[in-house]
Amino acid sequence: MSTPAKMRIPYVDIAAQFAEQRGELMTLIERVLSSGQYIDGEFVQQAEAGMAALCGVKHAVALNSGTDALFLGMKALGIGPGDEVITPPNSFVASTAAIVHVDARPVFVDVLPDQNIDPDQIAKAITPRTKAIMPVHLTGRIADMQPILDLAQRHSLFVIEDAAQSIGSTYDGRLAGSIGHVGCFSTHPLKNLNTCGDGGFLTTNDDAVAAAVRQLRNHGMADRNTVTQFGYVSRMDALQAAIVNYRFGKLGETIRARRENAARYRALLDAELVFMPPDRQIEFNTYHTFVVQVDRRDALQRHLAGHSIGTAIHYPVPIHLQPAAAALGYKAGDFPVTERQAQRILTLPVHPSLRLEQIEEVAERVNAFVRNA
């Protein structure tokens, strides 16, 4: 649900973030525009170095979006016609779209109660045509990667991390984007590390993949006069790179505030009636979103909206049931866990600008509703 501006407790507050950072951002914007270098150049190189350091990988390639990170990552790995890529059906549509756009086939498997892909289901879906597994680290929580890595190794598959929602998250001490062959990040304004427009990164320890994505993002050019393959225009521009560089320094505080807000919800919400997937011992969840699972979700969402509390649903229609997926041949009932969650999930506001009393109010309103339901 889009969040009307009148919400007293908005689901997100991007304008508040800008208001807080206005002075520094305007100075930066002036600097970039004065430099005359709007494509490539020092700001982009700095962003790549910063991102590689943040994720603990050899290479980060700055791109125009998380979608193109997924798309170009698969291109660089040689995934194409006839190949199958296993992925969950409850992601943002971009993960599946990227598979379709490399002319491979998305093979969906169901998820666990925490909304992330179920490794046991992956094992059952592997065929001789499977080329890769694309777990999506939804909500800021990394998928259960060890069994996924074991399966990938056993069957010689690539692992493509859709880490668009999980920058800075860890699993067993390993950072999102450093666990699989490639990591794909978005810096969309709603993400924890966000630009003022579209942006993304591909991360990898593979020199050849990084080099291929660098060429593909820039028309397939090896240098100004040599086109090795026809490519795309998928670069991050200097303005967004400068903003990312500045916001690298803010990410720690963003994550700390989100985790604190999430912990408050956990303490306040009625866990008997509101399901909140627990954090595993081995994970560090960065709470890109705080998603609860409840009965009568739509009524609860309306109830909260009636009290000027903004919420969202990520995502109300699983990808296999979207009109765009009709040709893939899936039907309602194929993924019961995903489909049930789609009816029950509700994303509560967890952004860093929330005050304690606002979280308390959200929790009180939710509790009152579920207890009366």
Ligand X SMILES: Cc1ncc(COP(=O)(O)O)c(C=O)c1O
**Side-chain-side CA neighbours of residue 62 (13 Å):** 27
The CA distance from 38 to 324, in Å, is 35
- If you ran DSSP here, which 8-state letter would residue 354 be given? -
The CA distance from 164 to 138, in Å, is 8
Nearer to ligand X, 165 or 203 (CB): 165
Quote the tokens at residue 55: 């994720």
The minimum distance between CB 164 and ligand X, in angstroms, equals 3
Nearer to ligand X, 286 or 370 (CB): 286
What type of residue is 71?
A: F
Query: To which residue do tokens 């109300």 refer?
Result: 316
The minimum distance between CB 9 and ligand X, in angstroms, equals 23
Nearer to ligand X, 170 or 274 (CB): 170
Nearer to ligand X, 191 or 214 (CB): 191
Nearer to ligand X, 202 or 269 (CB): 202
- Give the footprint of ligand X on this chain (CB under 6 A): 65-67, 91-92, 94-95, 136, 162, 164-165, 186, 188, 198, 200
The CA distance from 310 to 9, in Å, is 6
Quote the tokens at residue 39: 């494509």
Task: Output the residue with the shortest Cβ distance to ligand X.
Answer: 66
- Chain CA centroid to CA 85, Å: 18
The CA distance from 228 to 202, in Å, is 20
The minimum distance between CB 296 and ligand X, in angstroms, equals 26
- If you ran DSSP here, which 8-state letter would residue 168 be given? T
Nearer to ligand X, 65 or 341 (CB): 65
The minimum distance between CB 303 and ligand X, in angstroms, equals 27
The minimum distance between CB 207 and ligand X, in angstroms, equals 25
- If you ran DSSP here, which 8-state letter would residue 183 be given? E
The minimum distance between CB 114 and ligand X, in angstroms, equals 15
How long a stretch of residues is the chain?
373
